[in-house]
Amino acid sequence: MKQNKVLIVYTGGTIGMVQDENGSLHPFALDRIYDAVPQLKGCSYGIDSVTLDHIIDSSNMTPSLWVDIANIIEREYDRYDGFVVLHGTDTMAYTASALSFMFKNLSKPIILTGSQLPLGMLRSDGRENIICALEIASTRLATIPEVCIFFESHLYRGNRSTKMSAENFDAFETYNYPSLAKAGIKIAFKEHLFLPMPTEPLVVRKHFDTRVAVLKLFPGIGPSVVNAVLHAPDLQGVVVETYGSGNAPTDSWFINALDDAIKRGVIVMNVTQCKAGAVKMRQYAASCDMDRIGVVGAGDITIEAAITKMMYLLGSYPNDKEHVKQRLSNSLRGEITE
């Protein structure tokens, strides 16, 4: 039987970092994966790797690097059975979300992973994470047509994921969707939770409009901060991080500021600050005015998926704000429970 093949795309992150003389961690070239993880020498699948031109701490991730990653995967799509993207944990959930939107009709797994401790350290979680991610990306037991994150025994849907710990090895969680697989003695796949296999060919869209903002509410927020954000030059969309099931102050200065922005063509999206649960417009009086003026409720989407989806839709449909609004409230790649 033909051997399955996986392509590793190395972008940087703690997994490949080394310590300088002051103890700070810096990204380091990890081009010889077998030196770093010798256990892979005996694996049953083929592995190739590509490194981005500049490896980074993922705090420096940008939409143009998402396009670089997507270009590599698109170019090699037919030659490999799956893809593993080694990535820093800090913005991994954003990149996973962005890639999920870019790859429409994906029929092969793209699995992001990284680690909390560099591979060179004795107690590194990186070896386990890479080995499991590669095994899942290459497996014949299940075909996962999704962008995922593998971390500390769990395979998660990428656009549902959030980094929830800067300390623990189990650093990710999908609060509004179960994990897709659990690695124990065997890897237990929960295939009924996967996205359906597409029937149409792959489409990769690579335009992001970064003229967006996130406005996080807090008790005491005033007109100067809200207006500064809503009057940012050329603003096209804003994600308002509201309370609970999508509630916000009912003060007229606040509603009028949002109303004015919407009338100027800015798309306003309502996403909850809560980790679990969903925005339900009109459940409380505290969201009725936002619903009336045309704020878009985005259900149980994560903030990472919300902002990347807004950039993706504005970039993909630059002349059709109505279409963008309609897609924001519906699931594109399983990021919202419908």
**What positions carry a catalytic annotation?**
14
- For residues 59 and 199, which CB has a smaller minimum distance to ligand ASP in the complex? 59
Give dist(CA 180, CA 192) in Å, integer.
9
Number of other residues whose CB lies within 10 A of the CB of residue 144: 25
Site map 218..257 versus ligand ASP, x via CB under 6 A: ----------------------------------------
Q: Quick one: which segment of 12-20, 67-75, 146-154, 243-251 binds ligand ASP (CB under 6 A)?
A: 12-20
Q: With beta carbons less than 8 A apart as the criterion, state whether 294 and 322 touch.
A: no
- List 63, 82, 88, 237, residue binding ligand ASP (CB under 6 A): 88
Minimum distance between the CB of residue 91 and ligand ASP, rounded to whole angstroms?
6
Q: With beta carbons less than 8 A apart as the criterion, state whether 164 and 172 touch.
A: yes
* Maximum pairwise Cα distance, the chain: 68
Minimum distance between the CB of residue 118 and ligand ASP, rounded to whole angstroms?
9
Give dist(CA 236, CA 231) in Å, integer.
10
Q: How far is CA 248 from the centre of its chain?
A: 26
Q: The dihedral of CA 258, 262, 265, 268: what is its sign?
A: positive
Give dist(CA 189, CA 202) in Å, integer.
24
- The letter for the amino acid at 109 is P
Site map 31..70 versus ligand ASP, x via CB under 6 A: --------------------------xxx-----------
Give dist(CA 190, CA 182) in Å, integer.
8
Number of other residues whose CB lies within 10 A of the CB of residue 191: 11
- For residues 114 and 297, which CB has a smaller minimum distance to ligand ASP in the complex? 114
Q: Quick one: which segment of 6-14, 104-112, 178-186, 282-290 binds ligand ASP (CB under 6 A)?
A: 6-14
- For residues 109 and 126, which CB has a smaller minimum distance to ligand ASP in the complex? 126
Minimum distance between the CB of residue 116 and ligand ASP, rounded to whole angstroms?
6
- For residues 57 and 170, which CB has a smaller minimum distance to ligand ASP in the complex? 57
- For residues 97 and 176, which CB has a smaller minimum distance to ligand ASP in the complex? 97
Applying the rule CB under 6 A, the residues between 89 and 128 that interact with ligand ASP are 89-90, 114, 116
Residue 13 touches ligand ASP, criterion: CB under 6 A: yes
Coil/strand/helix, residue 289? helix
Q: Which two tokens stand for residue 265?
A: 């063509």
Instruction: Tell me the residue ranges of DSSP E strands in 81-138.
Output: 82-86, 103-104, 110-113
Minimum distance between the CB of residue 86 and ligand ASP, rounded to whole angstroms?
9
- For residues 89 and 236, which CB has a smaller minimum distance to ligand ASP in the complex? 89
Residue at shortest CB range from ligand ASP: 88
Q: The dihedral of CA 313, 314, 317, 321: what is its sign?
A: positive
Minimum distance between the CB of residue 183 and ligand ASP, rounded to whole angstroms?
19
Residues in the interface with ligand ASP (CB under 6 A) total 11
Q: Which two tokens stand for residue 331?
A: 């699931």
- Which residues make up the interface to ligand ASP (CB under 6 A)? 12-14, 57-59, 88-90, 114, 116
